Structure 1
Amino acid sequence: MNALERRSVAALASVYAMRMLGLFMVMPVFVLLGEGLQGATPALLGLAIGAYGLSQALLQIPFGLLSDRVGRKPMIYLGLLLFAGGSLLAGAADSIYLVIAGRMLQGAGAIASVLMALLSDLTREEERTKAMAVVGMSIGVSFSVSLVLGPVLGSLWGLSGLFYVTAGLALVALVIVGRVVPTPRQHKASADALPARQMLVRVLTEGRLLRLDFGIFALHLVLTSLFLVVPVFLEQRLGLAGSDHWWFYLSVMATSFFAMVPFIIIGEKKRKMKAVLCGAVALLTLSAAALLLSGHSLVGTWAVLFAFFMAFNLLEATLPSLVSKEAPAAGKGAAMGVYSTSQFLGAFIGGALGGLLQESVGIPGVIGLMVLVLLSWLVVALTMPAPGYTTSFVVQLKEAADGSYGAVDQCLRGLPGVQDVVILKDEATAYLKVDRQHFDEQSLAGLAFVRQGSNS
Structure 2
Amino acid sequence: MQQAESMTPIERRAAVSLAAVFAFRMLGLFMVLPVLATYGQHLDGATPLLIGVAIGAYGFTQALLQIPFGMLSDRIGRKPVIIGGLLLFALGGLVAAQADSMLGVVMGRILQGAGAIAAAIMALVADLTRDEHRTKAMAMIGMSIGVSFGVAMIAGPLIASVAGLSGVFYVTVALALVGLALVTWVVPTPTLALQHREAGVVRSALMPALRNPELLRLNYGIGALHAILMASFVAIPLALQDHAGLPTSQHWWVYLSALLVSFVAMVPAIIYAERKRRVKQVLLAAVALLAAVQGMIWLNLDSLNGLVVAIVVYFTAFNLLEATLPSLLSKIAPPGAKGTAMGVYSTSQFIGAALGGALGGAAYGEFGLGGVFLLCGLLALSWLMIGVTMKQPPYVKSYRLPLPDAPFRDEALLRRILAVPGVAEAVIVAEEAAAYIKVDTQVLDREALDRVLQPA
TM category, shorter: over 0.9
User: Deviations 1:164-223 (Å, cap 9, x if unpaired)?
Assistant: 110010001000011110001111211111011011111111111111111110110000
Q: Is the 8 A contact 1:330 1:422 kept in 2?
A: yes
Structure 1 contact 396–450 (Cα < 8 Å) conserved: no
1:427 aligns to 2:428 (yes or no): no
Instruction: Identify if the C-alpha distance between structure 1 residues 209 and 2 changes in structure 2 by more than 3 Å, giving closer, same or farther.
Output: same
CA shift for structure 1 position 8: 1.0
Secondary structure, counterpart of 1:445 in structure 2: helix
Identity %: 52
Q: Residue 3 of structure 2 aligns with which residue?
A: none
Contact 1:397–1:451 under 8 Å retained in 2: no
**Which residue in 2 is equivalent to 1:9?**
15
Q: What is the correspondence of 1:164-183 to structure 2 with a 5 Å cutoff? A: 164-183=170-189
State the match for 1:111 in structure 2.
Answer: 117
Verify the 8 A CA contact 2:409 2:428 in the aligned structure 1: no
For each residue in 1:118-144, what CA deviation from the matched residue of structure 2 results, as whole angstroms up to 9, or x when unmatched?
Answer: 111111111111111111011001001
1:21 touches 1:146 (CA, 8 Å); kept in 2? yes
Query: Which of these residues, 29, 33, 45, is aligned with residue 39 of structure 1?
Result: 45
Superposition deviation, residue 386 in structure 1? 0.8
The partner residue of 2:212 within 198, 206, 216 is 206
Contact 2:287 2:384 in 1 (8 A): yes
Secondary structure in 2 matching 1:346? helix
Structure 1: distance between partners of 2:343 and 2:243? 40
Matched, 1:193 2:199: yes
Q: Distance in 2 between matches of 1:245 and 1:445?
A: 55
Give the counterpart of 1:138 among 131, 135, 144: 144
- Give structure 2 stretches of 5+ with no counterpart: 1-6
User: RMSD over aligned Cα, in angstroms?
Assistant: 1.3
Please list the CA deviations of residues 251-288 of structure 1 after superposition, one character each: whole Å capped at 9, or x if unmatched.
Answer: 11111111111111101111111111111111111111
Task: Give distance in 2, aligned partners of 1:404 and 1:421.
Answer: 13
Q: Supply the distance in 2 between the matched residues of 1:451 and 1:58 (Cα, whole angstroms).
A: 45
Aligned to 2:322: 316
Paired with 1:442 and 1:171, the residues of 2 have a C-alpha distance of 49
The equivalent of 1:125 in structure 2 is 131
Structure 1 residue 163 and structure 2 residue 169: aligned? Answer: yes
Q: For 1:35-64, what per-residue CA distance to the aligned partner results, in whole angstroms no more than 9, with x for missing partners?
A: 121111000110011000010011000010
Q: What do residues 65-116 of structure 1 show as CA deviations (whole Å, max 9, x unaligned)?
A: 0000000000000000000000000101111111111100000000001101
d(CA) in 2 for partners of 1:293 and 1:34? Answer: 26
3-state DSSP of counterpart to 2:33: coil
Q: Say whether the 8 Å CA contact 1:395–1:450 is kept in structure 2.
A: no
> 1:173 and 1:202 mapped to 2: Cα distance?
35
Residue from 405, 412, 423 that aligns with 1:407:
412
- The residue type equivalent to 1:199 in the other structure is A
1:396–1:451 CA contact under 8 A, matched in 2: no
Supply the AA of the counterpart residue of 2:82: I
Q: Distance in 2 between matches of 1:252 and 1:404?
A: 52
Instruction: Report the alpha carbon displacement of residue 404 of structure 1 after superposing the two structures with TM.
Output: 6.6
How far did 1:411 drift? 2.1
Name the counterpart of 1:28: 34
Equivalents in 1 of 2:12, 2:156: separation in Å? 30
Aligned-partner Cα distance in 1 for 2:197–2:241: 48
Q: Which of 247, 271, 293 is the matching residue for 2:299? A: 293
Aligned residue in 2 for 1:238: 244
Q: Which amino acid aligns with 1:408?
A: L
Q: Is the 8 A contact 2:409 2:433 kept in 1?
A: no
Q: Distance in 1 between matches of 2:420 and 2:451?
A: 12
Partner Cα distance (2:373, 2:314) in 1: 13
Determine if the alignment matches structure 1 residue 272 to structure 2 residue 278.
Answer: yes
Q: Are the aligned partners of 2:240 and 2:246 in contact in 1 as well (CA < 8 Å)?
A: yes
Runs of 4+ in 1 over 6 A off after TM superposition: none
CA distance in 1, matches of 2:128, 2:256: 35
Q: 2:423 aligns with which of 414, 418, 443?
A: 418
Instruction: Measure how far apart 1:291 and its partner are.
Output: 1.4
SS at 2:435 equivalent = strand
Residue 436 of structure 1 aligns with which residue? Answer: 441
Q: TM-score, normalised by structure 1?
A: 0.97
Contact 2:290–2:380 (Cα < 8 Å) also in 1: yes
Q: Distance in 1 between matches of 2:264 and 2:409?
A: 51
Asked if residue 254 in structure 1 is aligned to residue 252 in structure 2, the reply is: no
Alignment partners' CA distance in 2, 1:312 and 1:240: 23
Q: Does 1:397 align with 2:403?
A: yes
Contact map agreement 2:131 2:401 (CA 8 A) in 1 = no
Corresponding residue for residue 226 of structure 2: 220
Equivalent position of 2:4 in the other structure: none
Shift of 1:381: 1.7
**2: distance between equivalents of 1:159 and 1:427?**
49
Task: Work out whether residues 239 and 369 of structure 2, in 8 Å CA contact, stay in contact via their aligned partners in 1.
Answer: no
**Cα distance in structure 1, aligned partners of 2:201 and 2:11:** 23
Aligned residue in 2 for 1:374: 380
> How far apart in 2 are the matches of 1:303 and 1:216?
24
Whole-Å Cα distance in 1 between the matches of residues 411 and 255 of structure 2?
A: 56
Gapped runs of 5+ residues in structure 1? none
- Deviation digits for residues 233-252 of structure 1 (CA, Å, limit 9, x no counterpart): 11111111111111111111
1:90 and 2:100 aligned: no
Q: 1:435-456 CA deviation, whole Å, 9 max, x = no partner? A: 1112222112333x5469xxxx
Quick check: 1:338 aligned with 2:344? yes
Q: How many residues align?
A: 450
CA contact (8 A) 1:30 1:159 kept: yes
Offset, 1:3? 1.6
Question: How many angstroms does 1:155 deviate by?
Answer: 0.7
Give SS of 1:184's match. Answer: coil
For the 8 Å contact 2:43–2:102, the answer to whether it is kept is yes
**The residue matched to 1:423 in structure 2 has which SS?**
strand
